[in-house]
Amino acid sequence: MSIFYNTDDIQDQISELYLPLRKKNQNEIAKKKVIVIAGPTAVGKTALSISIAQILNGEIISADSMQVYKGMDIGTAKANKDEQKNIVHHLLDIKDINQSFNVSEFYRTAHRACRQILFKGKVPILVGGSGFYIHAFLYGPPLGPPSNQEVREKLEEQLKKLGAEELYERVQMLDPEYAKTITHRDKHKIVRALEIMSITKKKVSEIPKPDVNQKPLYNYRLWFLHYPKEDIYELVDKRCDQMIKNGFIDEVEKLKNQGLESNYSAAQAIGYRQCLKYLNSNKTLDGKITFIDEFKKASKKYVKRQFTWFKKESNFRSLNLKEIGIEKAKEYILQDYEQSI
């Protein structure tokens, strides 16, 4: 776990989650079923989740840190307006591009949406490829201090001036144990680690993590959809090309004019970072070809990280879509929902 939030904040969040449920029997609450559909980029999670939501009278909660931003549509593969009309989606377009969003806020907002869906007698379906966000939804966000804007801005300025490797060396010196879990390429984690240590005067490795063995709040039905990596890489190439055809470069340019570069996390998102680099260049044909190539490579690296993350999530059941097909996968998920206790 790489980013941490204040323990007192977590207690407040837990109280908030349980407050409207206190009059109910806790065993009854724990029987409420929540479907979680995870999987790597381009595997088809959106289409499958919408189909399942239509059958089960469900609503979808996005577990994507960038889909919360207005205007970040093409590059995040956000459900389009027609899809959103047919099925209610939560945590889409809730932030302007100049606003911050973190895993702690996601945890609160996603669980609030989950309660609302259950209150209406519908089925919550959490969908996304971010292992970090999904893990937080299931077990609670990491513990530690909230971000401090002044400290963060100073560190980000140092990152631009000195480079990630020098700041990574600082993390190695201050907290060698935590430094072993990241690399000099993990810019966001490096900055966050130094921010935590600056605020708390403690090592990141000393801050406790959420208990994954705690009793779950709901009856989570956990699924990981995938194809063999070589097949996903081919899907990624096609998706990136389609995004370009759909106007991704124009989308990023519009967001750039709205202040995208001032939002460190959003500006570092896959595709957006590579496109900003291209837009800030002379925008030659060779530069565009390089941008598209880097976009595809970054997307494939993310696929690798997604596989690595969910290999550690032993409670997820894996569905190889190449072997069983999307319709059979849907059948498995529906049968499990109907038949599970």
Residue type, 128: G
Parse the chain into domains and list their residue ranges. 7-144+208-339, 149-206
> In this structure, are residues 64 and 133 in contact, taking their beta carbons and an 8 Å threshold?
yes
Q: How far apart are CA 135 and CA 44, in angstroms?
A: 20
Question: What distances in angstroms separate CA 231 from CA 45, 227, 253, one per listed residue?
Answer: 15, 6, 31
Whose CA is closest to 321, among 250, 232, 208, 240? 232
For residues 254-281, b (16+ Cβ closer than 10 Å) or e, as one string?
A: ebbeeebeebbebbebbbbebbbebbee
Per-residue pLDDT in tens (0 to 9) along the chain, 341 residues: 333 434 344 444 444 444 444 445 556 666 899 999 999 999 999 999 999 999 999 999 999 999 999 999 999 999 999 999 889 999 999 999 999 888 889 999 999 999 999 999 999 999 999 999 999 999 998 777 877 888 988 998 999 899 989 999 999 999 999 999 888 878 888 998 999 999 999 999 998 877 777 788 899 999 999 999 999 999 999 999 999 999 999 999 999 999 999 888 899 899 999 999 999 999 999 999 999 999 999 999 999 999 999 988 989 999 999 999 999 999 999 999 999 87
> In this structure, are residues 167 and 190 in contact, taking their beta carbons and an 8 Å threshold?
yes
- Comparing 7-144+208-339 with 149-206, is the CATH topology the same? no
CATH 3.40.1370.10 matches 7-144+208-339? no
**DSSP labels, 141-181:** PPBSPPP-HHHHHHHHHHHHHH-HHHHHHHHHHH-HHHHTT
Fold type of domain 149-206: Histone, subunit A (1.10.20)
The count of other CB atoms within 10 Å of the CB of residue 310 is 21
Percent of the chain exceeding pLDDT 90 equals 73
pLDDT in tens, 197-225: 999 999 999 988 777 777 888 999 999 99
pLDDT in tens, 52-105: 999 999 999 999 999 999 999 999 999 999 999 889 999 999 999 999 888 889
Q: What angle do CA 44, 65, 88 make, to 5 degrees?
A: 60
Beta bridge partners of 222: 36
Percent of the chain exceeding pLDDT 70 equals 91
Q: How far apart are CA 207 and CA 271, in angstroms?
A: 33
